[in-house]
Amino acid sequence: MGWGDLGAFGEPSKETPNLDQMASEGMLFLDFYTANPLCSPSRAALLTGRLPIRNGFYTTNAHARNAYTPQDIVGGIPDSELLLPELLKKAGYINKIIGKWHLGHRPQFHPLKHGFDEWFGSPNCHFGPYDNRELPNIPVYRDWEMIGRYYEDFKIDLKTGEANLTQIYLQEALDFISRQQASQQPFFLYWAIDATHAPVYASKHFLGTSQRGLYGDAVREIDDSVGKILKHLQKLGISENTFVFFTSDNGAALISAPKQGGSNGRFLCGKQTTFEGGMREPAIAWWPGHIPAGEVSHQLGNVMDLFTTSLSLAGLQPPSDRQIDGIDLLPAILQGRLIDRPIFYYRGNEMMAVRVGLYKAHYWTWSNSWEEYGKGIDFCPGQNVSGVTTHTQEEHTTLPLLFHLGRDPGEKYPLSFASAEYQGAMERISGVVQQHKETMVPGEPQLNVCDKAVMNWSPPGCEKLGKCLKPPKSDPKKCFWPH
């Protein structure tokens, strides 16, 4: 989902009344970022409070490549990483994940082995193979066991876009919240639904209701679901004791536009890139009785901050034995105090850019290759800027491309290298980058090796369903990451 997909962020058709109301009752973040322009690494960052380069969710197979956890990935979230639910257990929290895990699907990477008490959802996204013949369809789990597979037991109609998954995920959330309220136990709910990832879907009630096609239908259903969750908290009388945060794992995938892609507003490019459209996200904090209604924050935020902020809300300190990149946002949320901090834009093993204040310096630029571009794969359709959205990896470490995001949020006009403004801003940014590099100890890369033998052939529970498939002979290879 992109920055421009919500009415509160300027989407003109105003089809997100519940999220817009959430913003009007809480705090809107205008400068909130993901830790990576792709799904798996950003989710690993959210749950560990650490950059993907630290927690291992990157690849060294090629320079500056986006990588995630497809079915044949061998790696996953390392045992050495401490995840948010593991720490919240110390304060008596019951933790549930609903939806996409995407941090490794082999048994040792299972979410219930990393602090979650309950799980309903899938280890991967709902992408193909769709027919369960040559390759296995993605399984859906309830806790430790598979209860079916996408496109078989959990239908997604690729012709009409109809699927009831968001409604299933919504009911799971409402039921969990009700049970925790009845038992008077504190809880952490990670509602990580698949929508609006391609192939985009929506339930029958929402199909054809948006001015923005199937993608808009999916956004409307998400909006409706969030509204029902917030109303449920109010109905149960626990809204003032529940902190809710809405955001996305990466920018809208413009490559899927116009039929299945969203909007990143005025920002450049989209998912897969380290331009603003790929990493600046819609973000809303909601906590009645604590956050004054209608607040707008210019605090530079990141999904990693949700790790540290959640620990603070639970009265816990972050681990002291490792570098934590996320900061506690409560001073900004509750007191309006802006915290000076940089934002680092990583793509695989490379720091592509850094933001300090309103200045953003690009040390590397790359959207995707000329080969892909020639095949119609374009991460910046209709937005390409000569010398900026390059189709070869261009290094600018000697003279970074510098943009003032206040005057030029679309990153179209780099400042002159000779200007006093450029030299002054880069002097400050260079110090931040140097300090960052001195503290950087990369984790063991988890996204290097792929093997069809580790795919979801025979997940736990497949025997009961008669849905076990025979895996092929193991043949580990380097994963291929084209961009």
The 10s digit of each residue's pLDDT in 94-144 is 999 999 999 999 999 999 999 999 999 999 999 888 888 889 999 999 999
pLDDT at residue 204 tops 90: yes
**What percentage of the chain reaches a pLDDT higher than 90?**
97
Same domain, 261 and 402: no
Tell me the average pLDDT across 11-20: 95
Tell me the average pLDDT across 244-271: 94
Same domain, 281 and 372: no
Report how far residue 161's alpha carbon sits from residue 157's, in angstroms, rounded to the nearest whole number. Answer: 5
pLDDT reported for residue 157: 96
Query: Confidence band (pLDDT; 50, 70, 90) for 258?
Result: confident
The 10s digit of each residue's pLDDT in 353-405 is 999 999 999 999 999 999 999 999 999 999 999 999 999 999 999 999 999 99
In a domain, 479, yes or no: no
**Angle at the Cα of 379 from the Cα atoms of 377 and 381, rounded to 5 degrees:** 85
Was 39 annotated as part of a binding site? yes
Same domain, 207 and 323: yes
In a domain, 262, yes or no: yes
pLDDT reported for residue 131: 86
Q: Which residues contact 139 (CB under 8 A, 6 or more apart)?
A: 122, 123, 146, 148, 149, 150, 456, 459, 462
Q: Could you give phi then psi for residue 94, rounded to 5 degrees? A: -100, 130
Q: How far is CA 69 from CA 107, 254, 374, 417, in A?
A: 14, 21, 26, 40
Sign of CA dihedral 267, 257, 302, 188: positive
- Rg of the chain over Cα atoms, rounded to whole angstroms, equals 22
Same domain, 357 and 305: no
Same domain, 52 and 120: yes
Same domain, 219 and 293: yes
CA atoms within 13 A on the CB side of 227: 14
- CATH code for the domain of 379: 3.30.1120.10
Was 250 annotated as part of a binding site? yes
Mean of the per-residue pLDDT values of the chain: 97
What burial letters (b/e) apply to 386-416, b meaning 16+ CB within 10 Å? eebbbbebeebeeebbbbbbeeebbbeebbe
pLDDT reported for residue 25: 99
In a domain, 444, yes or no: no
In a domain, 455, yes or no: no
Same domain, 270 and 295: yes
| DSSP conformation letters of 267-306 | SS--TTSSSHHHHEEEEEEE-TTTSPTTEEE---EETTHH
CB atoms under 10 Å from CB of 81, counted, come to: 22
Catalytic site residues? 39, 102
Was 479 annotated as part of a binding site? no
In a domain, 471, yes or no: no
Same domain, 355 and 330: no
What SS3 class is residue 45?
helix
Same domain, 296 and 429: no
What SS3 class is residue 322?
coil
pLDDT reported for residue 234: 99
Q: Identify the domain boundary among 340, 374, 400.
A: 340
Count structural domains, the chain.
Answer: 2
Same domain, 240 and 363: no
Same domain, 199 and 82: yes
In a domain, 461, yes or no: no
Boundaries of domain holding 364: 350-438
pLDDT reported for residue 51: 99
pLDDT reported for residue 256: 87
Report how far residue 206's alpha carbon sits from residue 271's, in angstroms, rounded to the nearest whole number. Answer: 25
In a domain, 173, yes or no: yes
- CATH code for the domain of 282: 3.40.720.10
Q: Identify the domain boundary among 306, 340, 374.
A: 340
Same domain, 72 and 104: yes
In a domain, 191, yes or no: yes
